[in-house]
A and B are shown apart, each in its own frame.
Chain A
């Protein structure tokens, strides 16, 4: 019954989306404005129904209802409840249901909470949201039904990929999805603005909080995903330029650019067409990413089911929505007036530079991701790896950091180069000193990019807190704090990346219990190796006493074996200290009772994710700050009217 109810809720939601689209269309174009009153309730009901469908699928997973095909193929009754729960979206159908749920709920939120937009634009936005949702409902209902039954039901399920059996999975995909499906709201806003020809500062102020919210969640999701890959895959890396990672990075790059251009539009009424274009591109990148991952067109560790019919379905959706939006852009943008002009040295120019650099990086990642596909069309097979991305995107990212340092210290509309230079004196001095010190300490031992990265990170860190200089900290607006923290987060993250690639010490050993290993100032004593058993796995676990002069700490790397499906994974042992992480992986047994171990000391590696969290926190503060200011202004206005 639960599965059937879920399916019914989905069909109803799809019907409501159709209704919502027709009502908005008839109300705006068909001369029946009274119909518009029903658009918002339809959006809210749709959001509720998708949430119900998703909750029901979670219930089926928690109950291990093996008569449901999806549960039988992706879960197992012996799994701990957290993984039954997380297993709901650890597969194609469930993750697509999560996708439409986020879309439905985001639509409901726009219907309920959006107040700044003019009525027509609001209705057109909701119509746009319904139109996109419809395609994904169709995809779910016609080719990926999560509620399909299996008869007779199997005695037990086939289990979840053990790599996904990790608390990280409970958190990372939903956050990521909230982020990148949340960008659909920006897309719908752009459609609404193009249809009603209202592209102006008021539109930008209305769109900004939605972009910010999606961007914050996307940032968190990517940060969590990177940390998950770092500790779970056991190769000590934190970013692999895998197509799926790129699929989440590309919308983030576009959304970051959008976030900055929308600020220009909101504050100075400039960059109108460009902002609309970015809003379209950001969500398009989410859809392209989904297509790349779900069609099996590129090979990736994340790919779920490889199914060409599903691939063609998503490709058709891409062609309709992105193609439609770009055609609408070409058709309507001519009638949008040019925005306000600005001088060469101004905050606007800095933000344009930020946008250009982000767009070029986005282009590079897109081309790198699709390059194997392009050459394959001409009969060659290649794969594009980290060296390409690092070498080409790396220097551009460093240039972006320099713009990041200068941008917030430049005035809107018009500034002078010498004034900006003066404000940058302290960071520039720091840059020189850091470069000198680092050159003396580590010349020839570290690469050019890590060297520049570290030096620039220090200077940018100083520059990013400069906007707080000589200000009363408690009276500084929250969104300024948000910007400062997010920018500082970029510097912190960059410092972590540079330290990791410059100073990581790696050691491969074959050790016997009783052996002592010395590396990077640490002493590791291999005490013993013992079998241990978990809920649905068994493992060989090494006990290691580690210390660097103080009291020893016990860490336990494991090599785990899962019975269903039969797989083994390595659970790295991590020891976090303020200045880095010790990362130990237990390998295979070799001759003579010795065990292979891979030991890394990674100085300041945690800064990478700390920076990511700071960036998201900064975004959240900016969001709250802007919204609160809006409420305060409204409240004051009302009080004045009453007085």
Chain B
């Protein structure tokens, strides 16, 4: 018994070395894959986030046509940087809904007045509960939702100008 026990640490250690070596030589993967891709949206009903846009519920996202769900906040600087790209997507005919995170309606109104308003509907997620359910870890993030209300793609961080064609491709793929 003692014989086995004294060699156990070495065995365990060798297993760790194998693990380290496999980790070390694995190619880097910089893309974050969402677990929710292919899953239906979690059910939610949110109050209106802006004074001139209707409120948002998850059922309204299954419209038969792919659309974008943008997670943003008036207090978020990259969201402001992302605004022109969202406007460009809107002009390309994409329908975009939004959830404002930890925000207040007057702040959202001010933000939209300053940076433009590409959104059809805006929900307010004051406690970032829905954001959690969506598996989103920050703002901004953008989800491609297919016609049946399932998540087809999750884009983490702001949409840069050179991401726009990729987003349009994803929307087409989700058809």
Contacts and interface: CB of A to CB of B under 8 A. Distances in A.
Interface of A: 273, 277, 280-281, 284, 288, 291, 295, 297, 308, 311-312, 315, 318-319, 322-323, 326-327, 329-330, 333-334, 370, 373-374, 376-377, 381, 508, 510, 587-588, 590-592, 596
Contact of B24 (A315, A329, A592, A596): A315
B10 A330 contact: yes
Contacts of B10: 323, 326-327, 329-330
Given A588-B77, A591-B107, A596-B75, A318 B17 contact: yes
A595 to B, nearest CB: 10
A591 B111 contact: yes
A365 to B, nearest CB: 14
B110 A591 contact: yes
Contacts of A311: 24
Contacts of B106: 591
Interface string B1-27: 011001101100110110111111110
A329 B14 contact: no
A329 B9 contact: yes
Contacts of B75: 510, 587-588, 590, 596
- CB-CB nearest 6 A-B residue pairs: A591-B110, A326-B10, A330-B7, A373-B23, A330-B6, A297-B23
A375 B29 CA distance: 14
A315 B74 contact: no
A374 B18 CA distance: 10
A297 B24 contact: yes
B129 interface: no
Interface of B: 2-3, 6-7, 9-10, 13-14, 16-17, 19-26, 29, 32-33, 74-75, 77, 102, 106-107, 110-111, 114
Contact of A323 (B17, B25, B33): B17
B5 to A, nearest CB: 9
A448 B14 CA distance: 39
Contacts of B32: 381
B107 A322 contact: no
Given A587-B75, A588-B77, 7 more contacts: A315-B17, A323-B10, A334-B6, A377-B22, A508-B102, A591-B107, A591-B110
Given A322-B13, A591-B107, A329 B20 contact: no
Contacts of B111: 591
A510 B107 contact: yes
Contacts of B102: 508
A326 B13 contact: yes
A303 to B, nearest CB: 13
A305 to B, nearest CB: 14
B13 A376 contact: no
Nearest to A319: B17
A591 B74 CA distance: 9
Contacts of A315: 17, 20-21, 24
B24 A308 contact: yes
B31 to A, nearest CB: 10
A277 B9 CA distance: 9
B21 A373 contact: no
B9 A318 contact: no
Contact of A370 (B16, B33, B74): B16
15 contacts: A273-B6, A280-B9, A315-B20, A318-B17, A327-B10, A329-B10, A330-B7, A334-B3, A334-B6, A370-B16, A374-B19, A377-B22, A588-B77, A591-B111, A591-B114
Q: Of residues A291, A322, A592, which shows the largest number of chain B Cβ atoms within 10 Å of its Cβ?
A: A322
Contacts of A370: 16, 19
Given A510-B107, A590-B107, A334 B16 contact: no
